[in-house]
A and B are shown apart, each in its own frame.
Chain A
Amino acid sequence: MLNRSILKKGLFSYRSYHPSLKEYVKPATLSPLTYNKESVQYKILSNALTKWVPKHGFKEKAITDSLNELGFSSSLLSVIGASNSPAIFRSISPAVMELIKFQLVSKRYELTENLCPDTTPKNELPSLESLLLKRLEMDKAIGKQIPHLFAELATPSSFLFDVALPELHRLSDDMIYFSNEKDHHDMAWYTKRLGVSCAYVSSKLYMAQDNSRDFEDTLSFAKDKLHRIMKLGEYYNNTEEYAWYMFMVSTNLVRARLARS
Chain B
Amino acid sequence: MTAELQQPKGNHRYQEPSQARMLKIPYNSTLSSGIRSFSVLSGLRATTIEPSNTNHPKSQSHLKNDEPTVKHANLSNAQKAYLDRAIRVDQAGELGANYIYAGQMFVLLRKHPHLKPILTHMWEQEVHHHNTFNALQLKNRVRPSLLTPFWKVGAIAMGVTTAAISPEAAMACTEAVETVIGGHYNEQLRVLTNQFELDKTDGTRGVPKEVRKLINTIKEFRDQELEHLDTAIKNDSKEAVPYKIITEGIKGICRIAVWSAERI
A→B interface (CB under 8 Å): 15-20, 22-25, 27-28, 118, 173, 177, 183-187, 189-190, 254, 257-258, 261
Mark out the residues of chain B between 133 and 151 whose CB falls within 8 Å of any chain A CB in the assembled complex: 134, 137-144, 146, 148-149
Could you write out 25 A-B pairs with CB less than 8 Å apart? Answer: A16-B80, A16-B81, A17-B75, A17-B80, A17-B81, A17-B140, A17-B142, A18-B140, A18-B141, A19-B75, A19-B83, A20-B210, A22-B66, A23-B71, A24-B72, A24-B74, A24-B75, A25-B74, A25-B201, A185-B134, A185-B138, A186-B149, A190-B143, A190-B146, A257-B146
Q: Which chain B residues border A257 with CB–CB below 8 Å? A: 146, 264
User: Contact at A17–B74, with CB atoms within 8 Å?
Assistant: no
Chain A residue nearest to B82 in the complex (CB)? A17
A-B Cβ contacts below 8 A, count: 81
Closest-CB distance, B62 to chain A (whole angstroms)? 10
Q: Which chain A residues border B209 with CB–CB below 8 Å? A: 20, 23
User: Contact at B148–A23, with CB atoms within 8 Å?
Assistant: no
Q: Which chain A residues border B59 with CB–CB below 8 Å? A: 25
| Cα(A238)–Cα(B224), bound, Å | 54
Say if the beta carbon of B236 comes within 8 Å of chain A: no
CB within 8 A of B149: which of A177, A187, A258?
A187
Closest-CB distance, B44 to chain A (whole angstroms)? 14
Q: Which chain A residues border B144 with CB–CB below 8 Å? A: 184-186, 189
Closest-CB distance, A148 to chain B (whole angstroms)? 33
User: Contact at A19–B80, with CB atoms within 8 Å?
Assistant: yes
Given the known interface contacts A24-B71, A257-B264, the answer about A17 and B84 at a Cβ–Cβ threshold of 8 Å is yes
Given the known interface contacts A185-B148, A254-B146, the answer about A23 and B68 at a Cβ–Cβ threshold of 8 Å is yes
Chain B residue nearest to A31 in the complex (CB)? B77
| Cα(A13)–Cα(B95), bound, Å | 24
Q: Which chain A residues border B66 with CB–CB below 8 Å? A: 22
| Cα(A110)–Cα(B53), bound, Å | 31
Chain B residue nearest to A19 in the complex (CB)? B75
Q: Which chain A residues border B148 with CB–CB below 8 Å? A: 185-187
User: Contact at A261–B141, with CB atoms within 8 Å?
Assistant: no
Beyond known contacts A17-B142, A23-B209: 7 more, CB 8 A cutoff:
A17-B81, A17-B84, A17-B140, A25-B201, A177-B141, A189-B144, A254-B146
B→A interface (CB under 8 Å): 59, 66-68, 71-75, 77, 80-81, 83-84, 87, 91, 95, 134, 137-144, 146, 148-149, 201, 208-210, 260, 263-264
Q: Which label, helix, strand, loop or mixed, suits the secondary structure of the A interface?
A: loop
User: Contact at A261–B134, with CB atoms within 8 Å?
Assistant: no
Closest-CB distance, B23 to chain A (whole angstroms)? 23
User: Contact at B74–A27, with CB atoms within 8 Å?
Assistant: yes
Closest-CB distance, B89 to chain A (whole angstroms)? 13
User: Contact at A25–B73, with CB atoms within 8 Å?
Assistant: yes
Q: Which chain B residues border A15 with CB–CB below 8 Å? A: 141, 143
| Cα(A183)–Cα(B260), bound, Å | 23
Given the known interface contacts A17-B87, A25-B74, A261-B264, the answer about A173 and B141 at a Cβ–Cβ threshold of 8 Å is yes
Given the known interface contacts A17-B81, A23-B68, A24-B73, the answer about A189 and B263 at a Cβ–Cβ threshold of 8 Å is no
User: Contact at A23–B208, with CB atoms within 8 Å?
Assistant: yes
| Cα(A183)–Cα(B67), bound, Å | 26
CB within 8 A of A261: which of B80, B91, B149, B263?
B263
Q: Which chain B residues border A261 with CB–CB below 8 Å? A: 260, 263-264
User: Contact at A258–B210, with CB atoms within 8 Å?
Assistant: no
| Cα(A22)–Cα(B20), bound, Å | 33
| Cα(A25)–Cα(B63), bound, Å | 11
